[in-house]
């Protein structure tokens, strides 16, 4: 089976930066996704990495190191609306998506 | 733009009863998926369909069946519900089953089996 680990919870202050780490061990690799999920809602796509390095998209950036089986999602200039769960997902060799349990981020004023 | 719709939004079901969760997408996506989401376990794939007329088993298929008669619809059936099937069910779709395609999720169905 696939193994995807990320912290359960993180708390940060409005305006600060938070980094959510994700480590994975999967049968093959065809890309890593980050999704945001607000309570009671569906996950929505944030970012996709397939090559090593940093992908920047506004206040959100995602990094991938395939040799280390490691990714992180960086949230800058935190806003209250960023309080949500962040899901790390890896597309394996069969092109199936496996999800981590999610990291709940709480932004405090 | 509707995207993906699911019905019902929520349901309470007696154990042993059958139920079909409906999922419809209007994006003409070829691939569709059913996940369940449980606290502390994340999203787990139940069944998938890479194209109309084909289906496959995911990580947790037992107790569930699917069909894909056309591109738009991908219903999930619980033949005889058990309490362990209490969960939030999400349907998702992608343009194809390729590596770079992003999954788009429906709003979810909250199912409680008593």
pLDDT digits (tens, 9 = 90+) for A17-64: 999 999 999 888 999 999 999 999 999 999 999 999 999 999 999 999
User: Per residue in B10-67, pLDDT tens?
Assistant: 999 999 999 999 999 999 999 999 999 998 888 999 999 999 999 999 999 999 999 9
User: CA–CA separation, A34 vs A17, rounded Å?
Assistant: 17
d(CA A24, CA B73): 33
Going by DSSP bridges, is the β-strand pair B42-49/B31-38 parallel, antiparallel, or unpaired? antiparallel
Q: Assess B106–A contact: CB distance below 8 Å, yes or no.
A: yes
Chain A: which residues have CB within 8 Å of chain B? 1, 4, 30-31, 33, 41-45, 48, 50, 87, 89, 91, 95-102
Split at pLDDT 50, 70, 90, the class of A1 is: low
Percent of chain A with pLDDT over 90: 88
Contact of B20 with chain A, judged by CB distance below 8 Å, is answered with: no
Tokens of A107: 């932004």
Q: Tell me whether residue B38 is exposed, middle or buried, using C-beta atoms within 10 angstroms of its C-beta: 0 to 12, 13 to 18, 19 or more.
A: middle
Does B45 contact A at CB distance below 8 Å?
yes
């Amino acid at each position: 089976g696939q193994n995807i680990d990320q912290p359960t919870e993180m708390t940060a202050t409005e305006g600060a930066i938070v980094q959510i780490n994700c480590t994975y061990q999967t049968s093959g690799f065809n890309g890593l996704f980050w999704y945001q999920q607000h309570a009671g809602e569906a996950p929505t796509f944030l970012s996709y990495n397939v090559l090593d390095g940093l992908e920047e998209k506004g206040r959100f950036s995602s990094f991938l190191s395939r040799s280390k089986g490691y990714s992180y999602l960086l949230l800058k200039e935190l806003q209250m609306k960023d309080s949500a769960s962040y899901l790390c997902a890896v597309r394996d060799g069969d092109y199936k998506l496996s999800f981590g349990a999610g990291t709940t981020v709480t932004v405090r004023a | 733009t509707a995207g993906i719709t699911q019905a019902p939004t929520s349901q309470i079901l007696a154990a042993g009863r059958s139920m079909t969760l409906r999922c419809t997408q209007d994006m003409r996506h070829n691939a569709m998926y059913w996940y369940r989401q449980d606290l502390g376990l994340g999203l787990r794939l139940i069944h998938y369909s890479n194209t109309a007329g084909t289906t496959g088993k995911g990580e947790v298929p037992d107790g569930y069946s699917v069909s894909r008669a056309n591109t738009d619809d991908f219903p999930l059936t619980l033949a005889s519900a058990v309490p362990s099937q209490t969960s939030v069910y999400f349907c998702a779709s992608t343009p194809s089953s390729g590596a770079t395609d992003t999954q788009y999720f429906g709003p979810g169905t909250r199912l409680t089996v008593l």
